[in-house]
């Protein structure tokens, strides 16, 4: 069956450290993968998009890797800050005959001051 | 840029009534809009995809007669929950895109509570 898995347990880290979140998927061949941030009671906010032919992408303190062999993406936040505390969602474009995005359940990140 | 609004941000209604939620792209033309539903601590579940001027494509298990979607212009899509029941209580989120390969930009969501 097709699945997107993100660690359901919350990730707690100390301010200044690097947070690493994992997204694994099975039985998909996404054209690209996206990461979003979602705060409680709010809609997701787009962060980064990485395509299937890209290994790594960076944006300021954010870095995303995409390994289509392992079917895994890693999302890193360096020099984390309390304001980075949120739920981070992984999303795949599966492009099955149309534009369709499938979301993981997200991982909650807490950054302690 | 790429701002999407939703109205209302929250709504409480009685069982059996209908509720309309609006989704607007404020600074770009959205050829495609999506409607999602999210239950607490769960992922966003795509309900339907709509292209301007055509009928919406509903995901399996989503009743098209219960969740009416209209995408009458390039900046506005509406979702009407007809004859709402308590199990329809959820967080409804829309997103908009200007093209197939473009990122989706999400609205802030609408919290629906059906009593």
pLDDT of res. B102: 62
B8–chain A Cβ distance below 8 A for any pair? no
- From CA B74, how far away is CA B62, in angstroms rounded? 24
Which H/E stretch holds residue B92? strand B90-97
Mean predicted confidence (pLDDT) in A95-110: 81
Chain B nearest-CA distance from A17, in A, is 26
- Nearest-by-Cβ selection for B93 from A4, A31, A43: A43
pLDDT of res. B19: 97
Question: A24 pLDDT exceeds 90?
Answer: yes
pLDDT of res. A9: 86
- From CA A79, how far away is CA A81, in angstroms rounded? 7
B91–chain A Cβ distance below 8 A for any pair? yes
Mean predicted confidence (pLDDT) in A54-59: 94
- Are the beta carbons of B44 and A45 separated by less than 8 Å? no
Q: State which residue of chain B sits closest to A101, comparing Cα positions.
A: B46
Over residues B25-38, the pLDDT tens digits come to: 998 888 889 999 99
Question: A98 pLDDT exceeds 70?
Answer: no
pLDDT bucket at A96, cuts 50 / 70 / 90: low
Residue with more model confidence, A98 or B28: B28
- From CA B38, how far away is CA B104, in angstroms rounded? 16
pLDDT bucket at B6, cuts 50 / 70 / 90: very high
Over residues B97-111, the pLDDT tens digits come to: 886 556 789 999 999
> Nearest Cα to B41, choosing from B81, B91, B89?
B91
A105–chain B Cβ distance below 8 A for any pair? yes
Spatial CB neighbours of A6, under 8 Å, sequence gap ≥ 6: A21, A22, A23, A24, A88, A89, A90, A104, A105, A106, A107
Beta strands in A1-113 (DSSP E): 3-6, 11-14, 19-26, 32-38, 45-51, 56-59, 62-67, 72-77, 86-93, 101-103, 107-112
Decide: helix, strand or coil at residue B94: strand
Mean predicted confidence (pLDDT) in B68-86: 93
- Are the beta carbons of B91 and A105 separated by less than 8 Å? no
pLDDT bucket at A39, cuts 50 / 70 / 90: very high
Query: Under a CB-based contact definition with an 8 Å cutoff, are residues A90 and A39 in contact?
Result: no
Residue with more model confidence, A95 or A52: A52
Chain A nearest-CA distance from B100, in A, is 6
A34–chain B Cβ distance below 8 A for any pair? yes
> Cα–Cα distances in Å, from B69 out to A34, B11, B74, B94?
26, 18, 14, 11
- From CA B101, how far away is CA A24, in angstroms rounded? 22
Over residues B37-59, the pLDDT tens digits come to: 999 888 899 999 988 888 899 99
Query: Under a CB-based contact definition with an 8 Å cutoff, are residues B112 and B92 in contact?
Result: yes
pLDDT of res. A27: 85
pLDDT of res. B21: 97
Mean predicted confidence (pLDDT) in A41-70: 93
Query: Under a CB-based contact definition with an 8 Å cutoff, are residues B77 and B50 in contact?
Result: yes
pLDDT of res. A102: 87
Mean predicted confidence (pLDDT) in A77-99: 87
Residue with more model confidence, B97 or A94: B97
Query: Under a CB-based contact definition with an 8 Å cutoff, are residues B59 and B7 in contact?
Result: no
- Nearest-by-Cβ selection for B97 from A99, A104, A105: A99
Sign of the CA dihedral with A31 first, then A95, B93, and B37 last: negative
């Amino acid at each position: 069956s097709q699945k997107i898995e993100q660690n359901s347990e919350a990730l707690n880290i100390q301010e200044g450290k690097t947070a690493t979140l994992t997204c694994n998927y099975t039985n998909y061949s996404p054209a690209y993968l996206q990461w979003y941030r979602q705060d409680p009671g709010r809609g997701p906010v787009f962060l980064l998009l990485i395509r299937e032919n890209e290994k790594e992408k960076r944006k300021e303190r954010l870095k995303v890797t995409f390994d289509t062999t392992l079917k895994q993406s890693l999302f890193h936040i360096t020099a984390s800050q309390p304001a980075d505390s949120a739920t981070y969602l992984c999303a795949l474009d599966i492009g099955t005959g149309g534009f369709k995005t499938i979301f993981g359940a997200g991982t909650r990140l807490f950054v302690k001051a | 840029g790429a701002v999407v609004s939703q109205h209302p941000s929250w709504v409480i209604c009685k069982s059996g009534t209908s509720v309309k939620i609006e989704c607007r792209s404020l600074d770009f033309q959205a050829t495609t809009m999506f409607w999602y539903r999210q239950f607490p601590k769960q992922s966003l579940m795509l309900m339907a995809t709509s292209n301007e001027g055509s009928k919406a494509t509903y995901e399996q298990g989503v009743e098209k007669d219960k969740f009416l979607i209209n995408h009458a212009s390039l900046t506005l899509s509406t979702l009407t929950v007809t004859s709402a029941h308590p199990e329809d209580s959820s967080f409804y989120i829309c997103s908009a895109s200007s093209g197939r390969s473009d990122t989706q930009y999400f609205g802030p969501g609408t919290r629906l509570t059906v009593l």
